[in-house]
Structures are given as structure tokens and as C-alpha cells.
Amino acid sequence: MSSRALRIAPLVLLLALAFAVGSVSSATAAALTKGAVKKIAAKVVAKQAPALSVAHATSADTALKATTATDALTVGGLSAGQLGVRPIVFTIPKTPYASGSLLNLNGVPAGTYLLSMHGILDTATGSSAECRVRNLTQNDYPLDVQVTAPTGKFPAITGVGYATVNAGDNLTFDCATVGNWTPGYPMHVTFTPVAGVVTGNLTTVKGTAR
């Protein structure tokens, strides 16, 4: 497209806009100059501006809550990185523990979580072990795993659970064994937050009751 055509195109659009809102008539269009069209367009914009204001946008309330450019880049105060799944992982180091020793699980915010734990306990082979996450405040055990190792093997602890944690809840972890125990390698207890839960419908299968 030539440079002359590029200059003419905006004038044509402005003239069409003027016709659309009744600012000029077909009888006078031929006599309009470039300057006259600009004046008419300016009046049209000024006349229509109130109706085009952002104040009429249904989402304007949300936009006005961003006091700075940084705030506008967050959702509910959380950055893009924080909006992803961010599990809370407690690592139990490879050191000896007495049976029943309590370890505090500090810093878990209020929320709903899927829990998991995994580790191999270096203790008496072929013995039993029980490891659990306990909510002392609620007197609840959202995750409790009990195993008996085969002859010549160490107890392997693997399990999943579900918990609702309230603000200020006191959470602990412990393992009960026949003697002292040591993680065969660093053991992990993981709290994975969930955004929401759909309650399942549990029913009894007919003919299976005893």
C-alpha cells in the first residue's frame, strides 16, 4: 500500500465514524477538508467518551484493587510461582532415634493436605514397626503405617493419608520399633496442599455384609 493511501485511510475511518453518529450529512461530505474531519472526529470522541469509560467495566473493581504494578501480577497476594503445587517436605536425617521419640512437624499452615511418608528403618530385621503423623491438638492420627518385615529384612514404611490442619495445630511424627531405629536413607514426610475436595459417595455392596 502506498504512503498516500496510508494517509487517506485514517481520514476515511474518521469520516465514517462521523456519519455513524450523525455529525455530518451526505450533502456536506464532499466539501469537508482534512481539518474539518479532524474537528468532527474530536467532537465525536468527546461526546462518546463517557460511555466508553473503564468505570463501566464489570471487572473494574478488581482492577482498582491493584495499588501498584507488582500487585497486579499477583492473585490473592500469591505470585505465579506460589500458585503451583508447593508440598511441605520434612526430611528425617539418617541418625539414630529411640523408639517412640517425637519429632515436631512445625510450620504447616492451616489447610487441607494429602500426606505421605516413605522410608526404611534400620532396626532389628524381621521386626514390626509403626510410624505415624499425629495431630496432638485434634487428638487424631491422619497417617499411621504399621508393618512387619520379612525375615532378614528391615521394616519399610510407605503410606498416604488425608488431613485438615487448623491454625496453631501441633503436629508430630514418631516411630515405634523393637529397639532404636535409624532411617536407611533420609526419610520423608510430605504435606501436599489440595485446593478443594469432592466428597465421595460410599455405599455397601449388596450381599457382602457379614
Per-residue pLDDT band for 162 (boundaries 50, 70, 90) equals very high
What mean pLDDT is predicted for residues 179-194? 96
Q: Is-above-0.75 flag for pTM?
A: no
For residue 57, pLDDT beyond 50:
no
Q: State the number of CA atoms in the 13 A half-sphere of 195 facing the CB.
A: 4
In percent, how much of the chain has pLDDT > 90?
54
In the chain, the amino acid numbered 100 is G
119 alpha-carbon distance from chain centroid: 28
Q: What is the CATH number of domain 88-193?
A: 2.60.120.760
Summarised one tens digit per residue, pLDDT across range 7-54 is 545 555 555 555 555 544 554 555 667 777 677 777 766 776 666 555
CA distance 139 to 115: 17
Domain ranges in the chain? 3-72, 88-193
